[in-house]
Amino acid sequence: MYSRRDFLQFSAICAATTGFSTALTPVAAQQKLSQDQLLNFDSKGSLTLLHITDIHAQLKPVYFRPPSENYGVGDFEGVPPHLVGQNFLDHFNIEKGSALAYAHTMVDYVDLARTYGRLGGLDRMATLVNAIRAERGDNNVLLLDGGDTWQGSYTALKTNGQDMVDCMAILKPDAMVGHWEFTLGTDRVLEIIDSMDYPFLASNIVDTDWEEPVFDSTAFYDRGNTRVAVIGQAMPYTPIANPRWMFPEWSFGLRLGLLQENVNKAREEGAEVVVLLSHNGFDVDQKLARELTGLDVILTGHTHDAVPEALNINNTLVLSSGSHGKYLGRVDLEVNNGKVTDYSSSLIPVFSDVIEPDAEMKAAIDAVRAPHENELNRVLGQTDTMLYRRGNFNGTWDDLICQGLMVERDAELSFSPGFRWGSTLLPGNNITVDDLYNQTSMSYPSVYRLEFSGSQIKEILEDVCDNLFNPDPFFQQGGDMVRVGGMGYTCAPKEIMGSRISDMTLLATGEPIDPNKNYVVAGWASVNENVEGPAVYDLMESYISDQKTVSMEKNNAVKVTGV
C-alpha cells in the first residue's frame, strides 16, 4: 500500500485540485495529477501482483458512478465494502472533492466527473502495467485477470468476445478466471481458451458425469525469486445466476474442501506464496480468508467493489479491484524463508486524461472497433439526467429500461435484473448505440411478457433479496436487487427469508398488489431456454428513439428500513 503519509499526501494533492466540487477547470485539475503520482508506490520485496477484474468488455474510458447504497448485514454491516459516500471517505481518510473521492464515491459525482473526466481504457491500463513491469522487472511481476472480461459491450457481443481476447493478448496476463465468459456457451469458451497462451483456471468446476476437473486448478510461476502458486476460482453460482443450458456438462460451487486440498497441494509442491484468483465476491472471500489456511493473497472480483488497499484478514490479504477498467490493483510482497514478511498494496485509479495511451493497445482497440464505428456512434437520443446503474436498489438506467419494457410490451409491471455492469452517462450526454449496449449486451436478451400472481411476485422479490442480504456470504450470489417498474415496496434487509418484502403497491392506482390477482409483467435476462420476445437492446432502441430526450425523476418507490 501507499505508506499512510504518502496516501494522505496524495489525497491532499488531489483535494487541492478542486477544494470542493468545481473549483478548477478540468484542464487545471488534470495538470495537478500526473502518471508518476498515480504510480507512486511504497514498494516492498521483489514480487509484485497486479490485478484487474470485471472489465466487462470496456475497451474505452468510461464514467462509472459508484453506488449510493451498498448495505451489509451480519458481520459485514458497516465495514468495507459496505461503506458509501462520506462514510467511505471518512473510513479511508480521503478528502471530499478530491480525485480519489471521485474515483471511489458518488459524492458530488457529476461535478467531479466533469472535472476529472473518465476512468479506464485498456490502452491506459496497458501503459500502467508496462510501467510497473519496467520498474520492477518482467520476472518479478504477475498480472492476473479476475474474469468478467469478454462480455458487456456492443463489439464483444458482435464478435463473441474476440475483441477482448485479442486486446487482452497484448496486455499479456499470466492467468484468468471466469463468470460471464460462460454465457458464450461451452464450445466458444473452449475455443477461446485453446487459443490463449495463458491458463484459464477454475479449481471449482467439475464435469457432471465423473466430477473430474474441467480446467486446471493451479498454475505455478517463478517470480521475484519466489515460487508462486495461483489457484483459480470461477463464480460458484454461475448456473443459478446465468443459464445452465449454456454449459450443461459443467458443475460449479464453492467446493471449499477441494480448494483447501489444492492450497495444501500447492504448498507441498514448493509454493512459497499461494494466491487465490477469485470470482467469488468480496464478502464471500472475506469469510473464506477466515476459514481456509495457507492462502497469502486473495484477489477477488464479481461484486465490483473497490477498496483503496488490501484488507488483512488472518494474515491473508484480500484486495477487490473494482470494475470496468477503472482501477489497477497492486500488491507487493516481501518473502523470506518461504514466508511473506512484509507487503504493500494499493488500488490505482486509471484517470484516462492524465495517462498516455499505449500505442500498440490503442491501435488494437481502434482496429476492433473500426468496422462498427458508425453504428457505435449512432445517436438514439439525449438524457437530461444522469443515467447510472450501480446501487443495491434503484438505478436510473434500470428505471429507464423498466419504463421501456412496460411501454413497448404493454405490461403493467416490469423486472430488470440487478446487474452491476454498465457505464454512466452525465446530464446532457447523447445516448448512443454504444451506450445502450453497455447496459444490455448479452447472449440471452429476449424480453418476455408473462402473467405473475401477486404472491409469485413477492416470492421472486424475496428470493432475490435473500441472495443479496443473506447474513452468510456463502449463500450470496452477487448482483443487486431486481429492479421493478410500475410498483413500489418496502424492503427490510435484516429480516429473515420471507419477511423482507412488504407494502407492495401498484403505482398506477396506489392499490396494494393482490396476492391472488395476476399481473402482466415484462422482463429480460431470463435463465430459461427458448424465451420468446424481442431483444432488449432492440426494444430499448425503439423506446429511446421515440422519447428523444430522457428525463428521469427520482425514484422513491422502494423504501428500505432497519439499516
Which 3 state secondary structure label does DSSP give 301? Answer: coil
User: Which pLDDT score, from 0 to 100, does residue 21 have?
Assistant: 38
CATH homologous superfamily of 377-560: 5'-Nucleotidase, C-terminal domain (3.90.780.10)
CA gap 463, 480 in Å, rounded: 12
CATH topology agreement for domains 33-63+117-368 and 377-560: no
pLDDT given at position 205: 98
pLDDT surpassing 90 at residue 563: no
Instruction: Give CA–CA dist 104/113, Å, rounded.
Output: 12
Q: What is the pLDDT of residue 27?
A: 62
Query: Do strands 379-383 and 47-52 pair parallel, antiparallel, or not at all (unpaired)?
Result: unpaired
Q: What percent of the chain has pLDDT over 90?
A: 92
For residue 481 the three cell numbers come to: 436487487
Rounded to an integer, the average pLDDT of 365-374 is 98
Residue closest to 24 by CA, chosen among 35, 14, 34, 10:
14
pLDDT tens-digit series, residues 199-255: 999 999 999 999 999 999 999 999 999 999 999 999 999 999 999 999 999 999 999
Asked if residue 16 has pLDDT above 90, the reply is no
Separation CA 369–CA 367 (nearest Å) = 6
Within 8 A by CB and 6+ apart from 527, the residues are 240, 241, 242, 243, 244, 444
38/32 Cα distance (integer angstroms): 11
Question: CA end-to-end span of the chain, whole Å?
Answer: 32
Which pTM was predicted?
0.95
Q: Structural domain boundaries of the chain?
A: 33-63+117-368, 377-560
Q: For the chain, how many helices (H) and strands (E)?
A: 19, 26
* pLDDT tens, residue by residue, 92-139: 999 999 999 999 999 999 999 999 999 999 999 999 999 999 999 999
150 vs 181: CA distance, rounded Å:
6
Fold of 33-63+117-368: Purple Acid Phosphatase; chain A, domain 2 (3.60.21)
* Dihedral sign for Cα atoms in the order 505, 509, 510, 514: negative
Res 500 pLDDT > 70: yes
Q: What is the pLDDT of residue 11?
A: 46
Q: Does the pLDDT at position 79 exceed 70?
A: yes
Rounded to an integer, what distance in angstroms lies between the CA atom of residue 31 and that of residue 25?
10
Q: Where do we find the cell 428500513?
A: 561
Please state the separation of Cα 202 from the chain's center in Å.
Answer: 19
- Which helix (H) or strand (E) segment holds residue 285: the answer is helix 282-291
Integer Cα distance of 352 and 493 in angstroms? 37
Could you read off the pLDDT of 326-356 as tens digits, one per residue?
999 999 999 999 999 999 999 999 999 999 9
Q: How far is CA 545 from CA 379, 381, 407, 537, in A?
A: 9, 6, 13, 12
Dig out the grid coordinates for 122 from the structure.
Answer: 485498456
What three-state secondary structure class fits 519? strand
Cα Rg, the chain, nearest whole Å: 23
pLDDT confidence tier of residue 427, bands split at 50, 70 and 90: very high
Cis, peptide link before residue 81, omega less than 30° from 0: yes
pLDDT of residue 10: 46
How far is the C-alpha of 238 from the C-alpha of 178, rounded, in Å? 10
Q: Residue 1 above 60 pLDDT?
A: no
Banded pLDDT at 24 (limits 50, 70, 90): low
Mean pLDDT within 529-556: 96
Q: Cell digits for 437?
A: 449496449
Which pLDDT value is given to residue 479? 83
